[in-house]
Amino acid sequence: MKPKHNWADDQMRVEGIIGTLLRTGVLVAAAIVLAGGVLYLAGHPTARPSYHQFNSEPAEFRSVMGIFRDAIALHSLGLIQLGILFLIATPISRVAFTVFAFAEERDWMYVSITLVVLALLLYSVFARH
């Protein structure tokens, strides 16, 4: 006789995976920002912030590809920006994982809603404003 399917066990398993995903994302982001911060302080030991004038981000940090190029070149500010991107990507990856969890449960209404949310999140990250 086939055992009865327990949805509560599935839900606890999904919640555990999501918790691990979120913790890992935050820890990876923090490690990347820390590495970039250490490199920045090592290369600019006497740098002082100027609060009298606003300086926007350099052009290379206004796109995801620009951030990746600087991070791969091990530029300190590129690494810090990459860590922030990982921090932003953490909840987005949670939403993406939730799409698959709802699809596994065959809950197509929630799959649809979650796909719309995921599309909006990805648009807000990758669209040029």
pTM (2 decimals)?
A: 0.78
For the chain, what are the domain ranges? 17-42+60-126
d(CA 18, CA 24): 10
Number of H helices, E strands in the chain: 4, 0
- pLDDT per residue, tens digit, the chain (129 aa), is 555 556 667 778 888 888 999 999 999 999 999 999 999 999 888 888 778 888 777 877 778 888 999 999 999 999 999 999 999 999 999 999 999 888 988 889 999 999 999 999 999 887 766
Q: pLDDT at position 22, please?
A: 92
Per DSSP, 3 falls in state P
d(CA 41, CA 65): 24
Tokens of 33: 């920002």
